[in-house]
Amino acid sequence: MAIQDRIVITGVGLTSPNGDNLEQYRKNLLAGVSGVQDFETRYMGKLIAGVCHYDPLKYQKKKDVRRGTRAGSIAIYCSHEAIADSGIDFSSADKSRVGVFLGITEHGNVETENEVYNISLKGYDTAFWTHHHNPRTVANNPAGEVTLSMGISGPHYTVGAACAAGNAGLISGVQMLRLGEVDVALAGGVSEAIHTFGIFASFKAQGALATHEIAAKASRPYDLDRNGIVVSEGGCVYVLERYEDARKRGAKIYGEIAGYAMNSDASDFVLPLPQRQVECMRLALARAGITPAEVDIVNTHATATRLGDQQESQAVREVFNETPTTYINNTKSFIGHAMGAAAALELAGNLPAFQDLVVHPTINVDHLDPECAIPNLVMNEPRKIQKVDYILNNSAGMLGINAVVVVKRV
Amino acid sequence: MTRQEIRQAIIDILADIAPDEDTASLKDDVSLRDQLGLDSMDFLDIVMELRKRYNVEVPSSDYPQLATMTSCLDYLSPKMA
């Protein structure tokens, strides 16, 4: 790989249901602290969801919060935090060489639902439909709000990639750096999904919405008693730079994007296809130039649907079948399914393992589904291992989209 | 509504639209745009809120009438009386 193609992570900004920065988030992942809670909705009453508790006014005025979207606000918070974490002197940076690339599962449903509700109070008179609707619902909104907030004049867009979007956003950032289009990429994913009933109602209609008497126990991937997905909001944005640029400025380097891959199942609207997941993971490993046995941690997508968990487990077992030092975990058991942010957040939770060599567990596994009994699955308690040189982050989404990122310790 | 009540109604709308600004000490003859940093989207918000709260229509040709508090009051008093 040419030196200018080596892309590294030098900053992390995030908000998750169980933490508003990497340190707090990681601490809770190691301590088994869930961020899933009861959540009141307009049409469906009390549900369970992952809710973020960051302070929007840390980086926005009240007017900006009012005018923009929740996804935009989350993206702004994460992007400012990521730049601050990177140590880049942003005030003197060339903003035309900075780009923003954010994965989204969907965007616009929240804002549209709100307006439909508002005009329902006025006899569905569309004269009461807000002029803010279009700028709020254009698909680039979350990334565009970041550029407005930070004075970034380089390219920005969102990447629609269902629940693989966090990885897809990250991959877009890597690609734009390699193309020479930008010198700094803010890349990752965001979700405001909990603020519209549609996603809950659709999962419920599909028989895939988690319920539990205790909210923190509701998200239980790989457990026989799981009953579906906990929908969450969240965001995670990385600062990506070329390795040489990061090294020259003495930046802290979280890891290098050693390989990635995206592909499509081409088989079903909803159901995943293990064989295509296998192909995606193998392609990412090949691009990273490593064998499966060299991977130390595999973070699985693991949404806590029976078929999804089982099929992904089958794919992971096939790729990592002779890999005695590869450990498996997942993150949705702590934070639910943060949709567009999921893959980005899930990678972030594992990055500190390069330093502390601890694999955070998946929690809420009381009765392991035998179909998900992958060797070295880290359950309920963290596990210290001998070395962490490579992390593979797997993700998949509806319409059969897969995205895998392999990160290497630098 | 009295002129004073209309003034308060406008201030309540402005407080929602420009929540970071001090709307209590507005000068009636200085442009709202300058005092509150309003842009065209904000003026559309004012128009929308007048429609929602008071069923008052402000056609786009009349938007200049909303420039200052005094001009707002002169324009809206007959409509909201």
Provide the pLDDT for residue B23.
94
> Is A216 found in the same domain as A144?
yes
> Is A325 found in the same domain as A242?
no
Mean pLDDT of chain B: 96
Task: For residue A120, list chain B residues with Cβ-Cβ distance below 8 A.
Answer: none
Is the CATH number 3.40.50.12160 carried by domain B3-80? no
Of the candidates A63, A66, A130, which has its C-beta nearest B48's C-beta? A130
CB A385 within 8 A of CB A327: yes
> How crowded is residue A177: how many other Cβ atoms within 10 Å of its Cβ?
26
> Is A238 found in the same domain as A264?
no
> Is A140 found in the same domain as A222?
yes
Kindly state whether A384 is in contact with chain B, defined as any CB-CB distance less than 8 angstroms.
no
> Is A214 found in the same domain as A306?
no
Start-to-end C-alpha separation, chain A: 15
B interface test, pick of A57, A62, A63 with most B CB neighbours within 10 Å: A63
Angstrom distance (rounded) from CA A265 to CA A274 = 9
Kindly state whether A128 is in contact with chain B, defined as any CB-CB distance less than 8 angstroms.
yes
Q: Do B41 and A66 touch (CB under 8 A)?
A: no
Provide the pLDDT for residue A196.
95
CB A383 within 8 A of CB A361: yes
Provide the pLDDT for residue A1.
78
> Is A139 found in the same domain as A207?
yes
Q: Tokens in use for B58?
A: 């402000």
Is A3 inside any structural domain? no
Q: How far is A132 from chain B (nearest CA, A)?
A: 8
Angstrom distance (rounded) from CA A174 to CA A185 = 8
Q: Which residue has the tokens 């794919």?
A: A315
Q: Which residue has the tokens 């997941």?
A: A277
Kindly state whether B38 is in contact with chain A, defined as any CB-CB distance less than 8 angstroms.
no
Kindly state whether A122 is in contact with chain B, defined as any CB-CB distance less than 8 angstroms.
yes
> Is A77 found in the same domain as A103?
yes
Of the candidates A63, A128, A131, which has its C-beta nearest B52's C-beta? A128
Provide the pLDDT for residue B81.
82
Domain that holds residue A356: 257-408
Task: For residue B45, list chain A residues with Cβ-Cβ distance below 8 A.
Answer: 131
CB B37 within 8 A of CB B14: no
Cα A185–Cα A140–Cα A24 angle in degrees, nearest 5: 55
Supply the CATH number for residue A274's domain. 3.40.47.10
Could you report the per-residue pLDDT of A87-144, keeping only the tens digit for each? Answer: 999 999 999 999 999 999 999 999 999 999 999 999 999 999 999 999 999 999 999 9
Is A268 inside any structural domain? yes
> Is A200 found in the same domain as A60?
yes
Provide the pLDDT for residue A190.
98
Is A361 inside any structural domain? yes
Residue ranges in chain A modelled with pLDDT below 50: none
Q: Do B41 and A61 touch (CB under 8 A)?
A: no
> Is A154 found in the same domain as A188?
yes
Kindly state whether A282 is in contact with chain B, defined as any CB-CB distance less than 8 angstroms.
no
A65: closest chain B residue by CA? B19
ipTM of model over 0.90: yes
Of the candidates A66, A122, A128, which has its C-beta nearest B19's C-beta? A66
Task: For residue A62, list chain B residues with Cβ-Cβ distance below 8 A.
Answer: 19-20
> Is A268 found in the same domain as A178?
no
Query: Which residue, of A213, A248, A283, is where some domain finishes?
Result: A248
Q: Longest Cα pair distance anywhere in chain A, in angstroms?
A: 65
Q: Do A62 and B20 touch (CB under 8 A)?
A: yes
Task: For residue A128, list chain B residues with Cβ-Cβ distance below 8 A.
Answer: 48, 51-52
Residues in chain B: 81
Is A1 inside any structural domain? no
Q: Do A127 and B51 touch (CB under 8 A)?
A: yes
Task: For residue B52, list chain A residues with Cβ-Cβ distance below 8 A.
Answer: 122, 128
Number of separate domains in chain A: 2
> Is A316 found in the same domain as A239?
no
Kindly state whether B19 is in contact with chain A, defined as any CB-CB distance less than 8 angstroms.
yes
> Is A270 found in the same domain as A161?
no
